[in-house]
A and B are shown apart, each in its own frame.
Chain A
Amino acid sequence: MPSIGSIQRFEPDDNRPELLCGDDDLDEFYQIDSIESAKQLLSVTYLVKLEDDTPCAFFSVFNDSVKKNQKEVPRSAFERISRLFPREKRYASVPAVKIGRLGVASDFQGAGVGQQVVDFLKEWFTSGNKTGCRFLLVDAYNQPNVTRFYEKNGFSFLTGGDEKEKTRIMYFDLGLYRA
């Protein structure tokens, strides 16, 4: 399995080395949309390189949150939750980071690169993070091979409401990853 060796943060004006994932949406985001998104401070895109400096993948991340409308929770359930959590810990909004795009170059698909990137992100947003972050979210293509990959990496579907949509929001609870 090729080992990832470094990541490079793209500034808006940085040249994007050629990297084709074989998916029009991912390729277009990498070459074009990631520039405007970075200019507007909406997301940050990183290039992933192997140990020999070959570009093998990219990912973009941005701050997000999971919001819960607790007022709609039935009273009996609310009381049960209230017993579990002290008042100050019953957050209605939980901080998260969302993987907007994660693309692996065609030449390296199925070689464990995506797995290493996900492992890195879990560690980075747990022990390396400067702010609080409880969930790693991803807007995953609703295709069996994609959702299986994330499920294998401990992600779950956030809601059943997007079951028939092109993409599904999945989450990994970084609470499982703490020291």
Chain B
Amino acid sequence: MARAIKETPILHGEEAMRLTEVMKTNLKRKVSPEERARGRKIFDRLKKSSNCLA
């Protein structure tokens, strides 16, 4: 049997606070247009050819 996937830990204290701040900061940032276009291109290609994405 393959190993069990590790549970995502509950974040406490500083780690919880840091993630909240990262989430807030990231809403003012975005990945580069090039990176976004790369993902979009692959998604569109797979959407056309994959029944499970229809």
Contacts and interface: CB of A to CB of B under 8 A. Distances in A.
Question: Interface extent on A, as a size class?
Answer: 35 or more
Interface in A81-136: 81, 84-85, 90, 94, 96, 98, 100-101, 116, 119-120, 122-124, 127-128, 134
Nearest to B11: A68
Interface in A1-58: 3-9, 25-26, 28-29, 32-33, 46
Interface of A: 3-9, 25-26, 28-29, 32-33, 46, 64-70, 72-74, 77, 81, 84-85, 90, 94, 96, 98, 100-101, 116, 119-120, 122-124, 127-128, 134, 137, 139, 154, 156, 158-162, 165-167, 169, 173, 175-178
Interface residues of B, number: 40
Determine chain A's interface SS by DSSP, over half rule.
Answer: mixed
17 contacts: A5-B49, A26-B2, A33-B2, A68-B11, A69-B13, A69-B16, A84-B24, A98-B5, A123-B39, A124-B53, A127-B43, A158-B9, A158-B15, A159-B9, A161-B9, A162-B9, A176-B31
